[in-house]
Structure 1
Amino acid sequence: MSARAAVRTAAVLAAAALALPVAAAGPARAAEMPQGEFNWSGDQGDGFDDQARWYGPGQGDRIDVTASADHRTLRVTITRPGDSWTMDLAAPAGQVLAVGNYADAVKTPEMPGTVLDRPSMFVNGYRGGCSTLTGGFGIRELVFGEGTAVKRIDLSYQQDCDDRGVLKGYLTANDVTPPKPVALGVTVNGSGTLSKTGKATLNGTVTCSKPVKVSVGGSGRQEQPKTVVGGFRVEVDCVPGRSIPWQAPLQVHIPEEDTPFVRSERLAAFANASATDPESGTYVVASADKWVRLR
């Protein structure tokens, strides 16, 4: 049996082994780096079979992982000066990528937007090539971020191209980009309420980009012609994608408590919305002002 035939026989046996958990295959993993690590070993057509090679930020390399909007596909790009790799992974039509084993995979379609009824993959180094392949990959951990971002991924892969031997390895990556602080918005409505005893109540809305408890505080100032100033504070549970209403009475402190407000077209209102970001601990503030009519 020739050396190439022996390699092809091994490839067939390796493909059959993909029915078992893929994560168990591949070389022994080195200690995981905080930002990630990519490893491959096998025949890439460069004359150095079974040469294990590692890539990671400790060597000045860059690993980028991006998901499609529907989380069905992943594109991984590994770059270093004079060398680059890409990894394309896709779940079957109608599925999203998740923790599990994807055996019996075929090559990623070359036509963008083509969706297959079985898993697809292509791990490609700087040598290129590979017309057709059989293979599989096992995902141990996968956490998606906002939009197309991927926060964490841990997987093993194995592929057998028709014009070279088996290629196998693993990928780990952690997104170390600091999370964006929560974005806040606040409004004050142009119409407030006035009780028969001169108690004024203001209202408005708050918005946020993350679920968070928001403190809304501020003041209202009215010239009668004497100056009457009151303050307010209220807490609301903000929900992303919604305008959450707030309402609070003004507690007069100038010139003295219980000084009444009067009907007016011009009460100067100021509101301050504040919250502590639940992920980063960053203190975030938004503000608004409005001439309010009291009726």
Structure 2
Amino acid sequence: MPARAAARAAAVLAAAALALPLAAAGAAQAAEMPQGEFNWAGDQGDGFDDQARWYGPGTGDKIDVTASPDHRTLRVVITRPGDSWTMDLAAPAGQALAAGSYADAVKTPEMPGTVLDRPSMFVNGYYGGCSTLTGSFGISELVFGEGTTVKKINLFYEQDCDDRSPLKGYLMASDVTPPKPVALGVTVNGNGKLSKTGGATLNGTVTCTKPVKVSVGGSASQEQPKFVQGGFRVEVDCVPGKTIAWQAPVRVHTPETDTPFIKSERLKVFANASATDPDLGTYIVASTDKWVKLR
């Protein structure tokens, strides 16, 4: 390699090594490139040392990162008009990828489903082709989302492919899709309990898609010789995927606080379940109504 090319390559790789910490720490830069940044530097087989840095959708570039269901492998596809790169990373058999260093990596197996006892990788650009390689990668941050999604990743990589000079660079990417709002569900059981003193107790269930504290409240009314109405409220801790029971006494406030409820086939109940979304900070409400037998 000519001395000038070697010096230029060394300068490029030094700049790439410094770029990731600065990019990861800079909030303003992250706002300009909400989807990520990909950098490569090295010999891609055309006889010249080269380097490039790709950004997110603001420049027409796109970075997609997906994981296998067991989180052992990652597939990265970086595209821009007229060009594309791919990156495959895998932890050794029986392990999930996580923040840390992965040395002595070999080329990603070409046979789908092949699992190795050592790390594997392959960063492949426009030139393509590579029969064997040795490499390493270090993950400084990795946050998985639901299923095969990846919410955030920061990593360095280096691979020595056949007779080319080493390819080095970094990837930083974050999922800018806003989290889904929490969904609530509420039910009121069709049978209420009348106490000996004329009080009423209602019960039902709540469901949610995120762990939240749910406030269940509403009103219950009867048409007696007088119109009697009361209110109820209770808080429960809701767990996603479970049906959580609630129970609450009704406090009469119309027409008089000491007016009792009576046995009835038609106690009209309106109920609301409300919570503050822990991710979005928004207030979510679910409602229902029910005719309840009071016995």
TM-score normalised by length of structure 1:
0.86
Contact preservation (8 Å) 1:61, 1:78 = yes
In the alignment, is the contact (CA less than 8 A) between 1:130 and 1:163 conserved in 2? no
- The superposition leaves residues 182-229 of structure 1 with CA deviations (integer Å, 9 ceiling, x where unpaired) of 121111111211101111111111112222111111111222354322
Q: Identical aligned pairs, as a percentage?
A: 77
Distance 1:183 1:170 in 2: 38
Matching residue's letter, 1:125 = G
Matched residue, 2:129 = 129
- The one-letter amino acid paired with 1:292 is V
- Give the secondary-structure state (helix, strand or coil) at the position aligned to 2:237: strand
Give 3-state SS (helix, strand or coil) of 1:210's partner. coil
Find the residue that maps to 1:87 and give its secondary structure: strand
Question: In the alignment, what sits opposite 1:8?
Answer: none
- Larger mean CA deviation between 153-162 and 217-226 belongs to 217-226
1:44 Cα shift? 1.7
The alignment yields a C-alpha RMSD, in angstroms, of 2.1
**Does the aligned pair in 1 maintain the 2:16–2:39 contact within 8 Å?**
no
Distance in 2, Cα, partners of 1:181 & 1:163: 52
Amino acid across the alignment from 2:59: Q
Q: Which residue of 1 aligns with 2:6?
A: none
Please give the per-residue CA displacement for 1:63-82, whole angstroms capped at 9, x wherever unaligned.
Answer: 12122221111111111111
Distance in 2 between residues matched to 1:116 and 1:25, nearest whole Å:
33
Using CA pairs below 8 Å that are at least 6 residues apart, which structure has the higher relative contact order?
A: 1
Structure 1 counterpart of 2:67, one-letter code: A
Letter of the structure 1 residue corresponding to residue 137 of structure 2: F
Partner of 1:28: 18
Give distance in 2, aligned partners of 1:109 and 1:289: 59
| 2:215 maps to amino acid | S
Correspondence 1:168-247 to 2 at 5 A:
168-224=168-224, 226-247=226-247
Residue 250 of structure 2 corresponds to which residue in structure 1?
A: 250
Name the count of aligned residue pairs.
274
Q: Which amino acid in the other structure matches residue 53 of structure 2? A: W
- 1:1-295 equivalent positions in 2, closer than 5 A: 3=1, 27-29=17-19, 31-32=22-23, 33-34=29-30, 35=34, 36-49=36-49, 51-57=50-56, 58-162=58-162, 164-224=164-224, 226-295=226-295
Q: Is the 8 A contact 2:66 2:148 kept in 1?
A: yes
Show structure 1 runs of 5+ residues with no match.
Answer: 5-23
SS in 1 for 2:18: coil
Determine the C-alpha separation between the residues in 2 that align with 1:206 and 1:67: 33
- Equivalent position SS for 1:29: helix
Deviation at 1:254, TM superposition (A): 2.3
C-alpha change, 1:196 and 1:168, in structure 2 (3 Å) is same
Paired with 1:160 and 1:52, the residues of 2 have a C-alpha distance of 15
C-alpha distance in structure 1 between counterparts of 2:146 and 2:222, whole Å: 45
- Matched AA of 1:164: R
TM-score, L = length of structure 2: 0.86
Query: Does the CA contact (< 8 Å) of 2:234 and 2:248 recur in 1?
Result: yes
